[in-house]
Chains A and B, each alone.
Chain A
Amino acid sequence: MDNKHFMVAGVIIALVIGVVAVFFASSDPDGLESTALIVQGDKTLTGATPPDVEVDTGLHETIVYDSPFPDYSIGGSLGTYGGLVAIVFGTFLAFVAVYAIAKVIAGARTPNQ
């Protein structure tokens, strides 16, 4: 498999994983959120997470930053499709950003070699 096919296959696998995740990912909190719920008294260590609890992130004064696509969705009424667009966009962006930066760094050293 040459480099081009490797990259195409790799990005397709990543996109498939991301798309499947939009439909099948668990909505249970992650380990850090679960721990936060225990600390704030909304969950026990091994118990199920109540459906309507939320992690209180206002523990310390901080700078409030509103991301354009919070929680991997583009918001509005698009629901699941918004999630799909967000994941596909993010996956491509991660690929392109790392590819471009790596290429620039590799290119910068070539003339000196």
Chain B
Amino acid sequence: MHIPDGFIPIPQGIVYWVIALVFIALALRWAKNEMTDEKIPLIAVLAAAIFALQSFNIPVSMGTSGHLVGGALAAIVLGSPFAAVFILTLVLIVQGVLFGDGGITVMGANIINMGVIGGFGGFYGFKGLMAATKNISISAFIAAWLACLVPALAAAVELSLAGSFPFEVGMIAMGAYHAAIGIIEGLVTVIAINLILRVRPDMVDFSRPAASGVVS
């Protein structure tokens, strides 16, 4: 769901950049307070994995394909929506600047959608679902599915405000495609969380006994 340059007028792109910068500043403050040597390996590996997974488009029928976004995954395992903002911002910079995937003037909007909305939706969705179901995989799957669908709907709203997509067509099409793509988001997120839990449970935020987390 990387919005390209030319889909949003520059003045609106600047507004999204300003909002994104506020969250980037908060993500840097999170990193300053929370970044420990123990967390660095997981953060760096997640960045590499999210970059690679975002290049893997899988068909979802309807003549469309999609890939993991990764906001929910980053926020859930690192225990903060700002972890998603931190990682997704850097991944989006690499993608936009080097590979032309996602525009430069619209990068603020992409950071808001995938990093901020994806991260917050994924994190609090997981937290709420864990309280209700006590099941890590079910909670992660649904939270990740939402963290794909909701940012896509946000993009549809932004593109409607930009005059690029009619509101109704944009909401229906973006919603339908990302409801399907969200299944990939959910499955990959569940597999990745279980994989990390198997090899390094101490690295996963909610599995640490000391965490203020969602399990206890």
Contact = CB atoms under 8 A, between A and B. Distances in A.
Interface of A: 1, 3, 6-7, 9-11, 13-15, 17-18, 20-22, 24-32, 34-36, 38-39, 43, 45-49, 55, 57-72, 86-87, 90-99, 101-103, 105-106, 108-109
Given A30-B1, A62-B10, 19 more contacts: A6-B199, A13-B49, A14-B53, A21-B56, A30-B66, A30-B181, A32-B174, A35-B173, A45-B173, A46-B62, A60-B6, A62-B103, A62-B105, A67-B97, A87-B52, A102-B44, A105-B35, A106-B36, A109-B35
A97 B181 contact: no
A102 B40 contact: yes
Contact of B5 (A48, A62, A86): A62
A99 B45 CA distance: 8
Main secondary structure of the interface of A (DSSP, over half): helix
Interface stretch (B123-131, B135-143, B163-171, B204-212): B163-171
Contact of B165 (A36, A72, A87): A36
Sorted from nearest, which 7 A-B pairs have the closest CB atoms? A10-B45, A31-B177, A67-B100, A26-B65, A18-B52, A49-B63, A21-B56
Contacts of B58: 25-26
Given A17-B49, A26-B58, A61-B9, A31 B44 contact: no
Interface of B: 1-10, 28, 31-33, 35-53, 55-59, 61-67, 86-87, 90-91, 94-101, 103-105, 152, 155-156, 162-166, 169-170, 172-174, 176-178, 181, 199-200, 203
A72 B99 contact: yes
Contacts of B10: 60-63
Nearest to B182: A31
Contacts, number: 241
B56 A17 contact: yes
A46 B47 CA distance: 33
Given A35-B174, A67-B100, A57 B45 contact: no
Contacts of B164: 36, 39, 59-60
Nearest to A89: B98
Contact of B43 (A35, A47, A86, A98): A98
B40 A103 contact: yes
A24 B46 CA distance: 22
B65 A30 contact: yes
